[in-house]
Structure 1
Amino acid sequence: MDFILMSEGDTPVGLTHEHRYRELIEEVLLAEQVGFDAFGSSEQHVAIGTATVSAPEVLYPYLMALTSRIRFIHLVTLLPTRMNHALRVAERIATEDILSNGRIELGTGRGNTTLALRAFEVDPTENKSQWREGIELIRRAFLDDPFSFVGEHYKVPPRSLVPKPLQTPCPPISVAAGSPSSVETAAKMGIGAIMGGFYLGYDLVENMLKLYDETLAAATHDYPITPRKMVLVSGGMHCAETTALAREQARPLFEMSKLSTDAFGRLAKLSQDYAYMGAVNDVDFSDEEYLFERSQGFLVGDPEHCIEHVQRYADMGVESLVLRVDSLPHDQLMRSIELFGKYVIPRFKHPRNVVRPADDVLAGIRAARPAHEEALRRFQSENKPAEAVR
């Protein structure tokens, strides 16, 4: 399983965006040091609270120059035509791929706030088809030379992409998939699906994972594919020395979650393509036990408690876990990243290298002694000197 640190640069009242961005840089550098596989941020425009990263394609190259191992994933690049022309996205991703020495990934979406969609004059009844054509155009630009495209939203004559990306066959592509139909679309297209984010429980996510597997197995693809089962923990991951402390510190995340999902109900009424988002209105954001333990929106606790939650995802077959680590004081975020990287990630990346308690090791040694003594007796019996045998 890959572990992806997600931050949106949530900036509290009284702090400057400049200061928060400097903190975010420190958090990414620590994430690389302690073993996270990738960092990602969403593309949010004119947001009120919860997110300030409107230009991740500018932020990432700065971070790429400061790092050497950690990958970068756009979570997500918005593909309505009024926000990002798909050909410009292909050019930017190829450039980032070169600058990072092959450490970039493209997550995509169509927007989930009325603030941004209305600011860019995006029609919510059309942006799904714009997203789909955008993905097709980007893949052709990456994989065909020359490429061309004719559709409802894009009409590109034969051209050759400049520059070309480094990764083969192309940088991995995925999509934010909040509904079963989006999961099916991702699998049919052979791209990754970023599932979760609606606080509706583990069963929904598990069913989506199964649907993705089944659809992918039944699909045929014209292009090389980049399938991947990804799950988003959108409310937040927070790891502390004790579960009680982690919960106490993480409670402010409930308000962030309510604010970030506030537009979902309005979007559900604007377009049938967003109807599934209305289900978040049934979530009780005052039910602490549900949110922390059953909503799938949070991963909060001491290292051992976090390990139990991650194991649940591992048992489902999740390949990448996207963990939002944001909206809390910088010192708490840094400690959370450090604890998760030192004590949780190794249990899934390098379990044989994790030091066990001495009592556990001794118990294993004692349990193995009878078999060893029996093997020793057989060896001695089979290798007696010839005189002793006579």
Structure 2
Amino acid sequence: MDFILMSEGDTPVGLTHEHRYRELIEEVLLAERVGFDAFGSSEQHVAIGTATVSAPEVFYPYVMALTSRIRFIHLVTLLPTRMNHALRVAERIATEDILSNGRVELGTGRGNTTLALRAFEVDPTENKAQWREGIEVIRRAFLDDPFSYVGEHYKIPPRSLVPKPLQTPHPPISAAAGSPNSVETAAAMGIGAIMGGFYLGYDLVENMLRLYDETLAATTHERPATPRKMVLVSGGMHCAETTALAREQARPLFEMSKLSTDAFERLSKLSQDYAYMGAVKNVDFDDEEYLFEHSQGFLVGDPDHCAEHVQRYADMGVDALVLRVDSLPHDQLMRSIELFGKYVIPRFKHPRNVVRPADDVLAGIRAARPAHEEALRRFLSGHDLEYSSEVLR
């Protein structure tokens, strides 16, 4: 399982965006040091609270130059034509792929706030079709030379992409998939799916994962596929020395969750394509026990408790876990990243290297002794007495 640190640069009242961006850079650098596989941010425009990263394609190259191992994934690039022309996205991703030495991935979506959609004059009844055509344009630009495309929203004559990306067949592509229909679409297209984000419990995510596998297996893909089952913990991951402390520090995340999901119900009324988002109205954001332990929107606790939650995802067959670490004071975020990287990630990446308590090791040694002694007796019984005596000495 891959572990992806996600932050949207949430900037508290009284702080400047400049200062928050400098903090965010420190958080990404720490994430690389302690073992996170990737960093990602969403593309949010004219947002009020919760997110400030409107130009990740500008932010990423700066941090790419400061890092050497950690990957960068766009979570997500918006593909309505009024926001991002698909050919421009292909050009930018190819450029980032070169600058990062093959460390970039493209997550895609169609927008989930009325603030942004209306600001860019995006029709919510058309942006799903625009997203789908945009994916095809990007893949053709990456794979075909020359490429062309004719559809409802794009009509591109034969051209050759400049520059070309480094990764083969191309940087991995995925899609935000909040509904079963979106999950099926992503799997049928042969791209990754970023699932979760609606605080509706683990069963929903598990069903989505199963649907993705079934659809992927039943589909023949003409183009190279980049399948990946990714799950988003959208409310937040927060790790502290004790679970009680982690919960106390993480409670402000509930307000962030209320604010970020406030647009979901409004969107659900604007287009049938967003109808599924209306289910969030049934979530009780005052039910602390449900949110922390059962909603799938949070991963909060001490390292042991966090590892228990991660194990649930591992048992489901999740390929990558996207953990939002944001909307709390910088020092708490740094400590959370450090604890999770040092004490949780290794349990799933390098379990044989995790140091165990001495009592556990001794208990294992004692439990193994009878089998070893029996094997030794069988060995000695097959040799002459002189050799046996020598071994016993």
TM-score by length of 2: 0.97
Using a 3 Å threshold, how does the CA distance of structure 1 residues 294 and 384 change in structure 2: closer, same or farther? same
1:389 aligns with 2:392: yes
Q: Is the 8 A contact 2:380 2:388 kept in 1?
A: no
Output the CA distance in 2 between the equivalents of 1:132 and 1:312. 32
Output the CA distance in 2 between the equivalents of 1:119 and 1:348. 43
Deviations 1:97-137 (A, max 9, x none): 00000000000000000000000000000000000000000
Using a 3 Å threshold, how does the CA distance of structure 1 residues 387 and 380 change in structure 2: closer, same or farther? closer
1:353 aligns with 2:353: yes
Output the CA distance in 1 between the equivalents of 2:152 and 2:380. 82
Q: How far off is 1:384 after superposition?
A: 4.5
Deviations 1:137-168 (A, max 9, x none): 00000000100000000000000000000000
Using a 3 Å threshold, how does the CA distance of structure 1 residues 119 and 388 change in structure 2: closer, same or farther? closer
Secondary structure of 1:318's counterpart equals coil
Q: How far off is 1:268 after superposition?
A: 0.3
Secondary structure of 1:107's counterpart equals strand
1:38 aligns with 2:38: yes
Using a 3 Å threshold, how does the CA distance of structure 1 residues 385 and 347 change in structure 2: closer, same or farther? closer
- Contiguous gaps of at least 5 residues in structure 2: none
Q: Is the 8 A contact 2:77 2:107 kept in 1?
A: yes
Output the CA distance in 1 between the equivalents of 2:54 and 2:219. 35
Using a 3 Å threshold, how does the CA distance of structure 1 residues 377 and 102 change in structure 2: closer, same or farther? same
Deviations 1:296-328 (A, max 9, x none): 000000000000000000000000000000000
Q: How far off is 1:388 after superposition?
A: 14
Output the CA distance in 2 between the equivalents of 1:15 and 1:385. 78
Output the CA distance in 2 between the equivalents of 1:103 and 1:259. 32
Output the CA distance in 2 between the equivalents of 1:243 and 1:89. 42
Output the CA distance in 2 between the equivalents of 1:363 and 1:263. 54
Q: What is residue 237 of structure 1 aligned with on the other side?
A: 237
Deviations 1:177-198 (A, max 9, x none): 0000000000000000000000
Secondary structure of 2:262's counterpart equals coil
Using a 3 Å threshold, how does the CA distance of structure 1 residues 386 and 46 change in structure 2: closer, same or farther? closer
Q: How far off is 1:172 after superposition?
A: 0.1
Using a 3 Å threshold, how does the CA distance of structure 1 residues 89 and 389 change in structure 2: closer, same or farther? closer
Q: What is residue 204 of structure 2 aligned with on the other side?
A: 204
Q: How far off is 1:374 after superposition?
A: 1.1
Using a 3 Å threshold, how does the CA distance of structure 1 residues 288 and 376 change in structure 2: closer, same or farther? same
Using a 3 Å threshold, how does the CA distance of structure 1 residues 384 and 221 change in structure 2: closer, same or farther? same
Output the CA distance in 2 between the equivalents of 1:228 and 1:283. 28
- Contiguous gaps of at least 5 residues in structure 1: none
Using a 3 Å threshold, how does the CA distance of structure 1 residues 375 and 80 change in structure 2: closer, same or farther? same
Output the CA distance in 1 between the equivalents of 2:33 and 2:389. 62
Identity across matched positions, percent? 91
Deviations 1:261-314 (A, max 9, x none): 000001000000000000000000000000000000000000000000000000
Secondary structure of 1:263's counterpart equals helix
Count residues in correspondence.
389
Output the CA distance in 2 between the equivalents of 1:63 and 1:30. 12
4+ runs deviating over 4 angstroms: 383-390
Q: How far off is 1:32 after superposition?
A: 0.1
Output the CA distance in 1 between the equivalents of 2:391 and 2:105. 71
Using a 3 Å threshold, how does the CA distance of structure 1 residues 372 and 43 change in structure 2: closer, same or farther? same
Using a 3 Å threshold, how does the CA distance of structure 1 residues 152 and 373 change in structure 2: closer, same or farther? same
Output the CA distance in 1 between the equivalents of 2:387 and 2:34. 55
Using a 3 Å threshold, how does the CA distance of structure 1 residues 346 and 385 change in structure 2: closer, same or farther? closer
Q: How far off is 1:385 after superposition?
A: 7.3
Q: How far off is 1:222 after superposition?
A: 1.0
Using a 3 Å threshold, how does the CA distance of structure 1 residues 388 and 290 change in structure 2: closer, same or farther? closer
Output the CA distance in 2 between the equivalents of 1:371 and 1:52. 61
Deviations 1:197-248 (A, max 9, x none): 0000000000000000000000011100000000000000000000000000
Output the CA distance in 2 between the equivalents of 1:351 and 1:323. 21
